[in-house]
Amino acid sequence: MELKFNIAIVGSGLTGSITSLALAKAGYKVALIDPKSFEEFKENNYDTRTTALSKKSKLFFEYLNLWQRMQPFTCMIKNIMVNDGNYEKNIYFNKTQRKKNKPLGFMIRNKDLFAILVDVIKKNKNISKFDNKVNIFYRDQENVTIKLDDKRVITSHLLIAADGKNSFIRKKSGIKTSRKSYNQKAFIFNVKHTKSHNNLATENFLKHGPLASLPIIQNKSNCYSSIVWSCNHPFYYKMIKYAKKDIERELNFYLSEYYGKLTIITKVKSWDLTLVKAQKFFDTRILLLGDAAHSIHPLAGQGLNLTLKGIETLHKLAKNNKTKVDIGSDKILNAFSKKQYLNSTAIIFATDKLNFLFSNSNFFLKKTREIGLYVFKRSDILKNIFKNYASEGKLSIK
C-alpha cells in the first residue's frame, strides 16, 4: 500500500510537531512519523522540562495561531540577572523596564506546549500521524520512498529528519557530524520557593558550572522556577549521588537570597552535554531540523529558538513555492541551508565560548572572567549584545 504526501517528517517531538503545523499552514500534505504515539510522548518525555521562548518565537507562534492557546501556560521573563558567585557584582538586564511590561522572553513547560500542539495536529486535515518506525528509505531524483515497520510505503518529495541528535535519518543519509563533549552533565528539575520570582531569570556562573533558574507560572499560594545546572567534571559525580535534600542545600546556598527557601518538587533528570553539528543540513531530498542538525549547550536557552528560526525559514520558502510540487528540490533546500547554517554557526560559536569562559575553574580564566564582568557591567554595548542574545537569539547591539 503506497501513500503519497508532499512532505514526510520523522520525529514527532516539539521540532517535528511544530514543523508539521507550519508546513500544513503553507498548504502541504504532511506525514508525521514516529513509533511513539502522542500519548506515549506526553507520558514519558515532557514531565519536568521547560523551554525559553524569545520574542521572535512568540511572533511566529502567533502567526501559526498557537500563541492564544499557549499564553495561559507561559510566564514572562522581565529581568535577567547574571553573576559570577559574587552578589555585589550582579548584572541586571531590563530592570528599568519592568513597569513598561516589556518581557525579554517567555517560559513554558514542555508538556503544556506539547499538549497544545497535539490537540491542534489531530484536528488538522493536512497532517497524518503514523505510529511507526522507519525500516528503510531510498531516494531518486523525484521522490523519497519510505518503508514503515508495518509494511506500508510512503512516498514524498521531501523527508525531514526531526529525530534528535542521534538521528537515524541523518546517519542513513551519510551526513557526517562534528561532536564536542563539554565534560558536563545537565541536571534539570523544578522547585517551589517561598519568595515570588518576580519574573526574574538568573544565570549564575559558578566554579561547578552555570546554574540557571527560570521563572515558571505561579499561583497565589505557590511560587515556582525551573532549574538547569550544567555541572562540570568531577562535581557532577557528587550531584549524581546526592539525595534531593543535598541538592536543595546547594541551591539554597546560591539562590535563597532571590527566592527564599527552595524545595525540589519533581524528579531530578540528567544527561551528558555534547555539542553536535551536522556538517551540512541537507542532502538529496533530505533536510535536517532541530537537534538532528544542531544540538547545542543549554546556556542562554537558545535550542528551540534556533530550531524555530529554521522552521520559519522553511515555511517561508514553502509558502512562496507557488506550484506546491517540488518542495524537495536542491534549489529550495540550498536556500534554506544557506540561511540556517549561518544562524546556527553564530549561535553555536557564542554559546560554546561563553560556556568555556564561565565554566572553567582555571585561575587565569577566573581572573579574566572577573575583569570581563567588571567591563561588561559598565558597557551598554556589551550588555545589549548579551540581552539580545539571551532574549532574541541574535548577536546585535540594537
Instruction: Say if residue 308 is in the same domain as residue 339.
Output: yes
Query: Looking at the structure, do residues 81 and 194 belong to the same domain, yes or no?
Result: yes
- Helix or strand holding residue 209 (H, E): strand 209-216
Range of the domain at 287: 2-49+110-179+278-353
324 and 197 inside one domain:
no
- Within a domain: 257: yes
114 and 153 part of one domain: yes
Q: Same domain, yes or no, for 118 and 15?
A: yes
Instruction: Assess whether 162 and 186 both reside in one domain.
Output: no
Buried b (16+ CB within 10 A) or exposed e, 281-311: bbbebbbbbbbbbbbbbbbbbbbbbbbbbbb
Cα→Cα distances 124→25, 48, 129, 177, 373, Å:
9, 28, 10, 34, 49
Closest CA to 24 of 324, 323, 236, 274: 324
127/198 same-domain check: no
Same domain, 200 and 305: no
Query: CA-CA-CA-CA torsion for 170, 176, 178, 180, nearest 10 degrees?
Result: 60
Give the model confidence (pLDDT) of 45-68 as tens digits.
666 789 999 889 999 999 999 999
In degrees, rounded to 5, the angle at the alpha carbon of residue 38 between the alpha carbons of residues 37 and 39 is 90
Number of folded domains that form the chain: 2
Residue 148, domain CATH? 3.50.50.60
Could you tell me the CATH number of the domain that includes residue 209?
3.30.9.10
Does residue 184 sit in the same domain as residue 159? no
pLDDT mean for each 10 residues of the chain (398 residues) = 93 96 96 93 72 92 97 92 67 56 86 95 97 96 95 96 96 94 91 93 84 87 91 89 94 92 93 91 96 84 88 94 76 90 78 61 49 50 49 49
pTM as predicted: 0.87
Question: Cis (ω within 30 of 0) for the bond into 234?
Answer: yes
- pLDDT tens by residue, 75-119: 999 988 887 655 556 666 665 444 456 788 899 999 999 999 999
| Residue 89 DSSP code | G
Q: Is the CB of residue 306 less than 8 Å from the CB of residue 277? A: no
Residue 63 lies in a domain: no
* Domain contains 55: no
Is the domain of 137 the same as that of 96?
no
Q: Looking at the structure, do residues 190 and 253 belong to the same domain, yes or no?
A: yes
Residue 240 within any structural domain of the chain: yes
Quick one: 121 and 96 in the same domain? no
From 189, 190, 193, select the one nearest 260 (Cα to Cα): 193
